[in-house]
Amino acid sequence: MDRDRVAEPPYGRCTPVQERGGNCLTETALYWIVIAARQRRTELARDLADLGMYSGQEQVLLQPWDDRGFTQSELAERVQAAPATITRMLQRMERAGFVHRERRPGRRGSRVFLTERGWAARSTVEELWLRAEERLVANLSGSEYALLRMLLTKTGD
């Protein structure tokens, strides 16, 4: 009877089993994305610490900086972080000498700019980021890498 048949989960998705040891969630795509991201993030965080930076601050440095700088809300949107998180992050980065803020006459709020130290750190962070990317995809062919990027881009929509 069709009524008694259990529907097959789409795309290899599993249905969590409540029994001990019966959970297939460790075989999901999300699980492996989290594992891979955590490994690369840990390595990158170690490298950033050598520069006197905290994990996440590289996201600010990697933005397309120009002579207009950014507002805090623009940076928060670009790095997908809460405004309070960006505030604390920029305070730390300012104390470390990576950024400075300027109030513009007649305008509300301030704009954030990279300092010379920030520009120098940005170059190093770009190299660290690319090395982390190379470790992440070292076992992939060129076409597998292109497919991975395309698929991950689709999941972010």
In DSSP notation, the chain reads -GGGSPPPPGGG------STT---GGGSHHHHHHHHHHHHHHHHHHHHHHTT--TTHHHHHTS---TT-B-HHHHHHHTT--HHHHHHHHHHHHHTTSEEEEEPTTSSSEEEEE-HHHHHHHHHHHHHHHHHHHHHTTTS-HHHHHHHHHHHHHHT-
| Count of CB atoms situated within 10 Å of the CB of 46 | 11
pLDDT at position 21 is 61
Torsion sign across C-alpha atoms 149, 71, 47, 38: negative
Residue pLDDT, tens place only, 11-63: 656 666 655 565 677 778 888 889 988 998 899 999 999 999 998 999 999 99
Residues 123 and 140: their CA atoms lie apart, in Å, by 26
39-49 pLDDT, tens digit per residue, is: 988 999 999 99
pLDDT one-digit tens code per residue, 80-124: 999 999 999 999 999 999 999 998 777 777 899 999 999 999 999
